[in-house]
């Protein structure tokens, strides 16, 4: 049986095609966050309820909006819009811009200016709680994004209001555009920092679906939950893995073939469920 | 008539509306005192959120709540709210077209004695440049109450800008307004004084002085900066032949430049823009600064005469 990890590799292949065809994109971070997106959209959230637009649906915000192509690949496969639309990624006048907008079915908010998503999520979670709604709010941030002061303003507010219906996930791939996160602006110990702000915080492998699903389902009374998902930038292709320049490099023909072969090989090595 | 501050008119009207409609929320940035919105927070705790001295977060939290169906008024000193949180207003409010009202109080030179950290002479320009965001600058308490009531029924992003102190009454309680239309505050045929905010009252004083000199001045109140009433400007250019603009804002990017662009593109006539120059603002009480920068009735009347070639 196909596992979540198989599905995530299929979506990574979609991303590779989108970026290669459009000659633009953020491939490294899209590869690192794909298992997180798949855990949410194929296991944790009720996507049919989201598609119906029900008021008490769970919400997901891609605060690291530059990895929109990863989200688009997942949304298309989950039936939010036809897969053919992926071909329009980053084209003239497309709805599928390099950062998501509300014009796209399944996208709750336009994001991509870093450091906004957690605040949006706090507003959503506070409103849902006061309405007595069972909606849970998930927000995915980059680790470089943690440099933004507004993230910590939001973290304080989430702690103050005890937003137990909020889960923030950090795609902890340890690389931002200029290099290692700890050299650009040290973040460790990230989980401890969230705990200091009144959160429940757990670390897990961001490429192990079982661990991810468990962490994403974790709830803590009167506390928001931070999931520090340890990931590898460019995951699935040795050519790209752990190389900062693949933040937004676009593969040439030879690199495309190499990345495709490596992703397929790694997909084949995943054990069946 | 007794002088009332616009912020008190805003907060009392918002509370009255929110009592009837639980979807109306207020958010503060340690600004409950400066906005005079403490009663709202006490009476309606489930419709209010205090977010501390953190404007960026407050504006985006407001947008998040709006995406869940709330009509959120996030209120604080305009100098901080519109500058510190500019990107959140641009992206989370305007670009996302969320039902958020940015309420900037103590704008312009309300905080004049505090120095230029606290002046807010940039905010009309900054907010005007954001697509989808409506911009309103009320002249007095009556107009503030009208706009507040209107905004509680309007679904979309907007910026409401007001000062701090008690202001003269320009309008009677029964006065009516139309969003997107300039309010004709005084009819006239020789020159037009186009103003917004507290400068409307100063423009009316100027019109009175001009009348004594035999000059008939029209006074147009552009409380609705966006949507903007271009027709009123074109008509004023055609019918009065000269336009003087007056605002408690930088001459860069405010009402004056909006009027000038409309005139140049449609019906070129002489235009003079009065406001605060593009330089560090002097320190002083609001009234002293209005005098120092030529925004009093007398100074406006003088400028109007000069524009008409009748100056001293």
Query: According to the model, what pLDDT value does residue B270 have?
Result: 98
User: Which tens digits make up the pLDDT trace of A18-29?
Assistant: 999 999 999 999
Q: Which residues of B are catalytic?
A: 55
A-B C-beta contacts closer than 8 Å: 95
Give the per-residue pLDDT at B141. Answer: 97
Q: What is the pLDDT of residue B152?
A: 98
Are A127 and B70 within 8 A, CB to CB?
Answer: yes
Please answer whether residues B243 and B271 qualify as being in contact, where contact means their C-beta atoms are separated by less than 8 angstroms.
yes
Q: Which own/partner pairs from A174-177 qualify as long-range (CB within 8 Å, at least 24 positions apart)?
A: A174/A143, A174/A233, A175/A28, A175/A144, A175/A233, A175/A242, A175/A243, A175/A244, A175/A247, A176/A142, A176/A143, A176/A144, A176/A147, A176/A244, A176/A247, A177/A144, A177/A244, A177/A247, A177/A248
Token digits for A58?
Answer: 């769970």
Nearest residue, CB atoms, B68 vs list A116, A127, A150: A127
From chain B, pick out residues whose CB is under 8 angstroms from the CB of A156.
Answer: 52, 54, 57
Q: Which of B263, B259, B265 shows the shortest CA–CA distance to B222?
A: B259
Q: Which positions 152-191 of A are in contact with B (Cβ < 8 Å)?
A: 153-154, 156-157, 161
pLDDT tens digits for range A237-272: 999 999 999 999 999 999 999 999 999 999 999 987
Cross-chain Cβ contact B67/A109 below 8 Å: yes
Percent of chain A with pLDDT over 90: 98
Residues 6+ away with beta carbon under 8 Å from B264: none
The overall average pLDDT reported for chain A is 97
Residues of A in contact with B87 (CB under 8 A): 113, 116
Residues A59-63 have a mean pLDDT of 98
Secondary structure of B83-147 in HEC code, one letter for each residue? HHCHHHHHHHHHHCCCCEEEEEECCECCCHHHCCCCCECCHHHHHHCCCCCEEECCCCHHHHHHH
Q: Which among B46, B57, B63 is the nearest to A157, CB-wise? A: B57
B61 touches chain A (CB under 8 A): yes
Is residue A211 less than 8 Å (CB to CB) from chain B? no
Candidate from A116, A124, A153 with C-beta closest to B67: A124
Tell whether A134 lies on the interface with B, counting CB pairs under 8 A.
no
Question: How far is A201 from A193, CA to CA, in rounded Å?
Answer: 9
The beta-carbon neighbor of A124 closest among B64, B88, B97 is B64
Q: Return the CATH superfamily for domain B4-167.
A: Thiamin diphosphate (ThDP)-binding fold, Pyr/PP domains (3.40.50.970)
What's the CATH class of domain A4-269?
alpha beta
CB contact, 8 Å: A259 with chain B? no
Identify the CA nearest to A117 among candidates A89, A144, A84, A154: A154
Chain B partners of A119 at a C-beta cutoff of 8 Å? 56-57, 59-61, 63-64, 88, 92
Please give the pLDDT value at position A272: 76
Domain range summary for chain A, segments of one domain joined by +: 4-269
Residues B228-249 pLDDT 10s: 999 999 999 999 999 999 999 9
Hey, of A56, A63, A110, A123, which one would you mutate to test binding to chain B, going by the most B CBs within 10 A of its CB?
A123
Strands (DSSP E) found in B205-297: 217-221, 224-226, 243-250, 271-276
- Interchain CB contact of A58 with B (< 8 Å): no
Task: Report CB contact under 8 Å: B49, A126.
Answer: yes
- The model's pLDDT over A86-118, given as tens digits with 9 standing for 90+, comes to 999 999 999 999 999 999 999 999 999 999 999
**Interchain proximity B64–A128, CB inside 8 Å:** no
Look at A161 and B61 and tell me if their CB atoms are within 8 Å: no
Averaged over successive runs of 10 residues, the pLDDT of chain B (312 residues) comes to 89 98 98 96 98 98 98 98 98 98 98 95 98 98 98 98 96 97 98 98 98 98 98 98 98 98 98 98 97 98 96 67
Query: For chain B, which residues make up each domain, given as ranges?
Result: 4-167, 183-307
Q: What is the pLDDT of residue B37?
A: 97
Q: Give per-residue pLDDT as tens, A142-175.
A: 999 999 999 999 999 999 999 999 999 999 999 9
* A109 CA: distance to closest CA in chain B (Å): 6
Q: Choosing among A57, A100, A117, A120, which should be mutated to test the B contact, i.e. which has the most B CBs within 10 A?
A: A120
d(CA B90, CA A37): 27
Looking at the domain B183-307, which fold is it?
A: Rossmann fold (3.40.50)
Chain A within 8 Å of B45 (Cβ-Cβ)? no
């Amino acid at each position: 049986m196909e596992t979540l990890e198989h599905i995530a590799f299929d979506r990574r292949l979609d991303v590779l095609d989108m970026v290669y065809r459009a000659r633009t994109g953020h491939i490294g971070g899209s590869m690192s966050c794909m298992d997180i997106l798949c855990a949410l959209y194929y296991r944790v959230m009720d996507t049919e309820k989201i598609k119906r637009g029900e008021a008490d649906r769970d919400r997901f915000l891609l605060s690291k909006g530059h990895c929109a192509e990863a989200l688009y690949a997942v949304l298309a496969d989950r039936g939010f819009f036809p897969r053919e639309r992926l071909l329009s990624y980053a084209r003239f006048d497309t709805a599928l811009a390099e950062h998501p907008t509300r014009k796209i079915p399944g996208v709750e908010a336009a994001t991509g200016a870093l450091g906004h998503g957690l605040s949006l999520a706090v507003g959503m979670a506070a409103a849902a709680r006061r309405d007595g709604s069972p909606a849970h709010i998930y927000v995915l941030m980059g680790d470089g994004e943690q440099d933004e002061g507004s993230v910590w303003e939001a973290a304080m507010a989430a702690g103050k209001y005890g937003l137990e219906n909020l889960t923030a996930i950090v795609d902890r791939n340890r690389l931002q555009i200029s290099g290692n996160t700890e050299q650009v602006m040290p973040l460790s110990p990230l989980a401890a920092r969230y705990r200091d702000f009144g959160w429940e915080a757990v670390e897990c492998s961001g490429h192990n679906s079982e661990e991810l699903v468990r962490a994403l389902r974790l709830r803590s009374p009167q506390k928001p939950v931070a999931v520090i998902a340890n990931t590898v930038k460019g995951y699935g292709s040795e050519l790209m893995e752990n190389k900062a320049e693949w933040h937004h490099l676009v593969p040439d023909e030879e690199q495309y073939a190499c990345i495709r072969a490596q992703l397929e090989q790694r997909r084949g090595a995943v054990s069946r469920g | 008539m007794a002088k009332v501050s616009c912020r008190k008119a805003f907060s009392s009207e918002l509370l009255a509306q929110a009592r009837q409609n639980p979807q109306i929320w207020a958010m503060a940035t340690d600004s409950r005192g400066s906005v005079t919105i403490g009663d709202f927070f006490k009476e309606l705790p489930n419709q209010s959120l205090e977010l501390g001295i953190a404007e960026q977060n407050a504006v985006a939290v407001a947008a998040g709540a709006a995406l869940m169906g709330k009509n959120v008024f996030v209120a604080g000193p305009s100098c901080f709210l519109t500058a510190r949180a500019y990107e959140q207003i641009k992206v989370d409010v305007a670009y996302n077209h969320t039902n958020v009202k940015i309420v900037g109080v103590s704008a312009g030179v309300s905080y004049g004695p505090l120095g230029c950290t606290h002046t807010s002479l940039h905010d009309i320009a900054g907010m005007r440049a954001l697509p989808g965001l409506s911009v309103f600058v009320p002249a007095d308490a009556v107009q503030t109450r009208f706009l507040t009531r209107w905004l509680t029924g309007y679904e979309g992003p907007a910026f409401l800008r007001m000062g701090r102190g008690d202001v003269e009454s320009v309008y009677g309680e029964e006065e009516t307004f139309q969003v997107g239309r300039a309010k004709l505050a005084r009819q006239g045929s020789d020159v037009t004084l186009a103003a917004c905010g507290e400068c409307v009252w100063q423009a009316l004083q100027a019109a009175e002085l001009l009348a004594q000199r035999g000059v008939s001045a029209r006074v147009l109140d552009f409380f609705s900066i966006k949507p903007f009433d271009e027709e009123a400007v074109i008509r004023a250019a055609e019918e009065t032949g000269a336009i003087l603009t007056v605002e408690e804002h930088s001459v860069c990017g405010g009402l004056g430049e909006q009027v000038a662009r409309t005139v140049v593109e449609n019906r070129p006539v002489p235009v003079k823009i009065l406001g605060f120059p593009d330089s560090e603002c002097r320190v002083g009480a609001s009234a002293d600064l209005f005098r120092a920068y030529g925004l009093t009735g007398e100074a406006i009347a003088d400028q109007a005469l000069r524009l008409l070639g009748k100056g001293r």
